[in-house]
Structure 1
Amino acid sequence: MSSADNDDDLKPSTTPGYKPGAAKSADEYAKLDAEDESLARWKASLGIVPGATTSDAIGPKVTVLTLELDSPTLPAGKKIVFDLKDTARLADTKKNPIVIKEGVEYNVRITFKVNHSIISGVRYLQVVKRAGVRVDKLEQMLGSYGPNPTGEPYTKNFEPEESPSGMLARSGSYNVRSRVIDDDGEVYADWDWSFKLAKEW
């Protein structure tokens, strides 16, 4: 399968007729419709306050820090967290896939920072393949965020899913490609990892 096919799998869905607005800096958003009280409250919830924003727009708007798989069935103290800066561990999952218990509810959680500007239309895409055939695709919207005035990262929990079960599901491993992308097609993170299903975590 060509890399073009893989990229088609990781294109976000589109709404016919919808065109994203022109990107604005946090400063521009802070000054926009300053007299609208409800809009001012919404902007404040995103950390957009006149005079408190930065016009420094160097580097990516979004930095994805971690990907975590969480489940109420995980044993106490066990965590499945990928630090996206640890490319060696991500690469190691090809040889040593992480283990996910079959037939359990789990959810994906990502932690990210908004460095400058306002983000909207940013989504997380995840394509799962087995033996080169797509078996699942997850697409979740991050929401709208501005740079956090405290400098703390944001965490987004996605809707729970259920892992497959059965002897056939447990045979072999699954390859996953994850991507964080916006409506304009700008990719903020793109990484591969692998997992296998088992009777226990």
Structure 2
Amino acid sequence: MSAPHDEPDDFAPSNTPGYKPTAAKTAEEYAKLDAEDESLARWKASLGIIPGAADAPATGPKVSILTLELGSPTLPAGKTITFNINDQAALAEIKKNPIVIKEGVEYNVRITFKVNHSIISGVRYIQIVKRAGVKVDKMEQMLGSYGPHPKGEAYVKNFDPEESPSGMLARSGTYNVRSRVIDDDGEVYADWDWSFKLAKEWS
């Protein structure tokens, strides 16, 4: 469900001047590309591209987002804040009962995802935060370039640290967040809403 009052360009990925996305290639096509180039071979190996390997079936989404987690060195020992993006009941519960984030602390967002087929690049996480329907923050972070994991395992991407607001005004009200994972071509791989409140301590 869309958050209210979204501006049309809220989730438009930022454009890098002079950058033009290239046509998408499958893992098999990349494996065959300039096979004699050693530096390119190392880059392809870093993406999990194995020359001669059979390409994964190109069906379904290229990327599956599994979880979103909030991490902070100030979190109590053993406490984690993790959302299962595919559990609609849990996401609905978080919207009704917002998570509590400690004010004035450093935290970071990390996501777990799988690349199902092809090579991804230009995929980014965009987060819009609103309070009382007014946008108060936007975060945009690039995932990077990845190929399907040789063992079918998930990737974990830690984004740059942020600092939570502080003060009595910041602690009043609920912050509504809409998160989206999207690529340069406008293909959306995940889109979900959640909410949080700020407090003097984690809870």
- TM, length-normalised to structure 1: 0.96
- Distance (whole Å) between structure 1 residues aligned to residue 197 and residue 29 of structure 2: 47
Find the counterpart in structure 2 of residue 31 from structure 1.
Answer: 32
Corresponding residue of 2:64? 63
Matched, 1:124 2:109: no
What letter corresponds to residue 151 of structure 1 in structure 2?
G
Are 2:189 and 1:188 equivalent residues in the alignment? Answer: yes
Rounded Cα–Cα distance in structure 2 between residues aligned with 1:4 and 1:33: 48
SS of 2:95 mapped into structure 1: coil
51-60 vs 104-113, greater mean Cα deviation: 51-60
In the TM superposition, residue 6 of structure 1 has moved relative to its aligned partner by: 3.8
- 1:138 maps to 139
Q: 1:135–1:3: structure 2 CA closer, same or farther, 3 Å change rule?
A: closer
User: Residue 125 of structure 1: CA displacement?
Assistant: 0.4
Q: Cα offset for 1:144?
A: 0.4
Letter in 1 for 2:114: K
Amino acid at match of 1:165: S
Name the residue aligned to 1:178: 179
Counterpart of 1:159, as a letter, is D
Look up the match of 1:111: 112
Residue 98 (1) aligns with residue 112 (2): no
Tell me what 1:19 maps to. 20
The aligned amino acid for 2:36 is E
The alpha carbon displacement at 1:18 in A equals: 2.2
Bigger shift: 24-33 or 52-61? 52-61
Please provide the CA RMSD for this pair. 1.5
Post-superposition offset of 1:150: 1.2
Deviations 1:4-54 (A, max 9, x none): 844421111112342210011100000011110110111011111112241
Unaligned ranges ≥5, structure 2: none
Alpha carbons 2:130, 2:137 under 8 Å: kept: yes
Unaligned 5+ segments in structure 1 are none
Identity of paired residues, percent? 80
Aligned length: 201
Q: Which residue number in structure 2 is paired with residue 167 of structure 1?
A: 168
Change (3 A) 1:156 1:21: same
SS of 2:44's equivalent in the other structure is helix
Q: Which moved more, 1:51-60 or 1:95-104?
A: 51-60
Which residue matches 2:148?
A: 147
Match for 1:101: what amino acid?
K
SS in 2 for 1:38: helix
Quote the offset at 1:87 in angstroms. Answer: 1.0
Asked if 1 retains the 8 angstrom alpha-carbon contact of 2:3 and 2:178, the reply is no
Q: CA deviation at 1:63?
A: 0.2
Misfit runs of 4+, over 4 Å = 1-4
1:123 aligned partner, one-letter code: R
Q: Which residue is 1:73 aligned to?
A: 74
